[in-house]
Structure 1
């Protein structure tokens, strides 16, 4: 009996392995739209998909970022300027995408644009500090997705939302962790709604890789700036020792402890070793992609 049970479990794993190894055909004819391509994972992903022959539509916040990306890719890749916090910018980018994909629709939408500051203990921040991050990481992602959803549905394609490990456990105050929890919730509900139309929704949850978003220097500077703005009463409650502690056990403490241990680098030959880009790629071309991938 145990032998039959073991054989059945082995068969299930074999079928699962075979299913996960199946990839979508005719990838070179498919369009993928990526936000946040000026630097970091978006920049890396755009380059890697271009190398694999996909038709990449890369959204950058600045013309400088767009020029740098075009200089490192083939003529297939096209760029557009996009500010995900502005409705008119999203509308213009949506029309731009429609003109390029035509009746084929949009195979892949990768929502990657994001920021991590201002961040600090919650009591040190204002509503505006929270909204600055939520506008980009959550509300911008929502509006971009809703604007392009009809094109993704037409292609029976994929929506890939870049969340974070802090979308599972909150490690620091401010809007970043809140925004990533929101991305997780939106993705889960969207997945259930769009499965009826053959559209798959995947979450990518990177850990602590060296990007602008996880720069300990920038996060420390943002915390110091928030401290400088708080009232004398709040400073008396927390004290300088709290500020100098480095917030052990929180995001900034973990980033400082991991400094130099994470070998992922953006740029040079090490770019190919960054697992986050490798995690997004299967979400776009596997026939049965994972719903969420923690990296």
Structure 2
């Protein structure tokens, strides 16, 4: 999709952070952008800032963990612009704790926002792109945690799921003229560590416990890294380039490349251990 000017994009989690960075970069390239966010105040602020640059942008509030609300937001996009060419399923939440700190509510919330909303996004917006007859592109935000995993928490599980979903979807949609990229950012300056501010009441935890001292130290370390992270607008510029050149993977920096290489080495070692063995017959 070399010429983005005049195209229409729908971006979730667009009120701040990576979503706003992507929306800004696309708007600067002449794309008409529908910003979607669960926070009305953040959305209003983002729209006001973009409109000072004469960007053609609109906004819709939606909780993307509810399929009906995502479908309503898609209809709002069609009502406003009559088409959609680019979907950026970016909304995400951090949470879910490690072993011993799990809860059903945290799993359901994290899976709903981070994974199911990505799946529903393709289900809802893919046919709209096909109907437009001019191809399209989908960008799904995972995380570097979708390539490496420090624990079995819900966040990491959902991000692995987004990577797998995007890889498979890319193969399925290529013949239909729709590209698919998966964004795996490292530490970016966002509000991901404050995700609880947008946790719906239906995912409330009746028996939520305070983090242990070790957990609190780990959380603070993540918060510090995020606060000192990469500018979201830079990520937006990478995403714009990825859409133009149909990148399958979008990384933001090489910090975790050695960790990924070590994981691949462990996987290869697993094959090496059984390479010369003869399977038993049933």
TM-score range, shorter chain: 0.7 to 0.9
Q: Does 1:155 align with 2:134?
A: yes
Q: Does 1:136 align with 2:113?
A: yes
Distance in structure 2 (CA, Å) of the matches to 1:258 and 1:216: 16
Whether the aligned pair in 1 keeps the contact of 2:190 and 2:226 (CA below 8 Å) is no
Verify: 1:264 aligned to 2:236, yes or no: no
Q: Of the candidates 193, 199, 210, which is equivalent to residue 172 of structure 2? A: 193
| Counterpart-to-counterpart distance in 1, 2:165 and 2:135 | 19
Q: Does 1:165 pair with 2:182?
A: no
TM-score (norm 1): 0.72
Question: Does 2:191 align with 1:212?
Answer: yes
Q: Name the CA distance, whole Å, in 2 between partners of 1:263 and 1:139.
A: 27
Q: Deviations over 1:166-187 (max 9, x none)?
A: 0011123431111101101111
Q: What count of residue pairs does the alignment treat as equivalent?
A: 240
Larger radius of gyration between Structure 1 and Structure 2: 1
1:210 Cα deviation after fit:
2.4
1:245 is aligned to 2:223: no
SS at match of 1:68: helix
Does the aligned pair in 2 maintain the 1:138–1:182 contact within 8 Å? yes
Question: 1:217 offset after TM fit, Å?
Answer: 11
Distance in 2 (alpha carbons) for counterparts of 1:60 and 1:247: 28
Instruction: Tell me if the contact between 2:187 and 2:230 (Cα under 8 Å) persists in the aligned partners.
Output: no
Alignment partner for residue 82 of structure 1, among 62, 70, 73? 62
Match of 1:33 in 2: 10
**TM-aligned CA deviation for residue 202 of structure 1:** 0.4
Cα deviations by residue, 1:154-201 (Å, 9 ceiling, x for unpaired): 331100011100001112343111110110111111111111111110
Q: Aligned equivalents of 2:116 and 2:125: distance in 1?
A: 14
Counterpart residue number, 1:222: none
The equivalent of 1:255 in structure 2 is 222
The 8 Å contact of residues 216 and 255 in structure 1, kept in 2 or not, is answered as: no
Q: Within 2, Cα distance between the matches of 1:229 and 1:92?
A: 32
Aligned to 2:93: 115
In the alignment, structure 1 segments of 5+ residues that lack a partner are 1-22, 219-225, 266-270
Tell me by how many angstroms 1:215 deviates.
5.9
Q: What is the rounded CA distance, in whole Å, between the counterparts of 2:189 and 2:224 in structure 1?
A: 13
CA contact (8 A) 2:97 2:154 kept: no
TM-score by length of 2: 0.75
Cα pair 2:23 2:236 within 8 Å, conserved: no
1:149/1:120 CA distance change after superposition, 3 Å: same
Structure-2 residue corresponding to 1:46: 23
Secondary structure of the 2:10 match is strand
Name the SS of the counterpart of 1:80 in structure 2. strand
Matches of 1:106 and 1:51, distance apart in 2 = 17
Q: What are the superposed Cα offsets for residues 258-279 of structure 1, whole Å, 9 maximum, x if unpaired? A: 477x4535xxxxx64xx32222
With over 3 angstroms needed to count, the CA separation of the structure-2 counterparts of 1:50 and 1:216, relative to structure 1, is closer
Cα offset for 1:129? 1.5
Structure 2, unaligned stretches of length 5 or more?
198-204, 253-282
Partners in 2 of 1:176 and 1:263 — Cα distance? Answer: 19
Closer, same or farther: CA 120–145 of 1 in aligned 2, 3 Å: same
